[in-house]
Structure 1
């Protein structure tokens, strides 16, 4: 027997939401359950009546033909064989908590994608950030059949792309060219050293800052290096699972440590399996706090990676040599850094 119940809930801001739960009971046991939350009781009742009618008419849906998007996302997050980075995890959790996350993944159409993106834009989110939503949602739908047997498709995303682009609901992020000045670096080192001295859990912020610049590594990569990854003969380290849009895991690279990075690594204490045994978020948070206290504007920790690449170019390294350090598979990004450093190089050759 199919039935529904409505449970009014008062949120922290005082507004009321109506949770409608639809269930099927057989021999005293719940054999099927689904729920949605609405802003109006009439909407909740309408949905409850429609769903109970469908269940009475068509029976309980095939479990492989019905899965809420947030449930599908939960499977990915909990799957030990699925590698999910910090950004993707954040986006997936956000999608799971959104309105589209409450939908049956089989019911998601292109107009639902567009509606989700419009809601995100109206909330103040930028097109480049919304692009992450669409990209990871496409990944969820595309991989569902091979991963868990759900015959889903990324077609709704593909059908929505033209409209999303034409209405500027999604777009590429603006390419950054921010480099810290020598004065900013000096101020940061003073502030970071003071922070290191004040904290009980000592984090060598200055060493991490210098190492991040000289090695051109992401802070997550820096904090994952183990002493077993260190190659003493070649003065290099193996960077594991390096970010690559074409390969999510197992992308290991042997990276030479140049310009003093090797010396910084060697002076670290060896009381842990990792060279820099610190939480990357703590390192980034400390950097941001000092930066803000100093009034340094529009500088991100990731900009240190670009600073490192720029310094290598300034020392005369070629693009392919810099790519060996930075790990860029697509050298177009490095080419842009190089051309911004030397915009007049062709004119100089023409003299």
Structure 2
């Protein structure tokens, strides 16, 4: 039987039962203390009791520190993940006890993020936090629920379907010609992207030791999907690669991500193109490759997509072209 006593302005409930650790918690009312005690004793009777005390004695920020130290380094893109989690630590939620990070708190976090971020960004942020809570539950054995799983996720916006036509490509490549202070690697980078459908990170991480100009292949040892793949290179891609100067570091395109994005957007502006991002080159390349590789398995082997559903997001045929095919 739990003991209930008043201490100052609050009511303290204490449960002491053989075979279980002592449980103590304070409430603003006697009714609240009695209700909590009944629920804990009921769980003990049914054999489903797990102590909540550890989750009530550690802050969410402390949990994030431990997660970033022990778990994040094993993830791809862990630096970006750590940046997300450090941002959460600075919020009011970060200073709460782990047990107090409820679905209501998480819903408030979601709504605040949606005021300044796109839905897909918020979805990724929630996914990162969900991984933290799941790890707490499964590996560290905290008696909590995953509050992310209990809230509504933002609706995903329609996927982009921006594909450059031949005239737009010509204007973009002309705008990226290496004159004056323009980066000499940008134009070849865009051409290889259009010829191979490689991701931005795959291109910027590509090393000469993995490029075989004779066999016309580029080996990617570490991709977004966690698997390696070998990408075939067209004659046009080979032509561009053979003219490139070799960097001391061994990278085919020795450009930092931020510098590449800046140069690309300047080129888009000079070419007077509308609503074009670097990732749209992958959409464009996949759509073009689908005409040369109608076999979906072969096409996915080149682009690196693991299933047809994901591949379909990057394939954007024109209705008039399909009309020509069906006769």
**Residue 204 (structure 2) pairs with residue 223 (structure 1):** yes
Deviates more, 1:106-115 or 1:323-332: 106-115
| Residues in 2 aligned to 1:203 and 1:97: alpha-carbon distance in whole angstroms | 41
Consecutive unaligned residues of structure 1, counting only runs of 5 or more, are 1-60
Structure with larger Rg = 2
Residues 152 and 230 (structure 1), Cα distance of their counterparts in 2 relative to 1, 3 Å cut: farther
Q: Secondary structure at the match of 1:193?
A: coil
Consecutive unaligned residues of structure 2, counting only runs of 5 or more, are 1-51
Partner of 1:125: 117
**Residue 181 (structure 2) pairs with residue 198 (structure 1):** yes
Residue pairs, 1:24-35, within 5 angstroms: none
**Residue 290 (structure 2) pairs with residue 290 (structure 1):** no
C-alpha offsets along residues 229-265 of structure 1, whole Å, 9 cap, x if unaligned? 2245532122132112xxxx4x211221225223323
C-alpha offsets along residues 163-216 of structure 1, whole Å, 9 cap, x if unaligned? x25xxxx1213111111233322222222225x6315xx441100110111111
Give the TM-score normalised by the residue count of structure 1: 0.67
Deviation of 1:101 (Å):
2.9
C-alpha offsets along residues 280-330 of structure 1, whole Å, 9 cap, x if unaligned? 221112111232344422111000001111111233542222211110001
Q: Secondary structure at the match of 2:75?
A: coil
Return the structure number with greater relative CO, CA threshold 8 A, min gap 6.
2
Give the TM-score normalised by the residue count of structure 2: 0.71
| Residues in 2 aligned to 1:204 and 1:111: alpha-carbon distance in whole angstroms | 49
**Residue 220 (structure 2) pairs with residue 239 (structure 1):** yes
**Residue 281 (structure 2) pairs with residue 304 (structure 1):** yes
**Residue 252 (structure 2) pairs with residue 275 (structure 1):** yes
Cα RMSD for the two superposed structures: 3.1
User: Is the contact between residue 241 and residue 252 of structure 1 (CA under 8 Å) also seen in structure 2?
Assistant: yes
Partner of 1:104: 97
Q: Secondary structure at the match of 1:297?
A: coil
Q: Secondary structure at the match of 2:74?
A: coil
User: Is the contact between residue 189 and residue 206 of structure 1 (CA under 8 Å) also seen in structure 2?
Assistant: yes
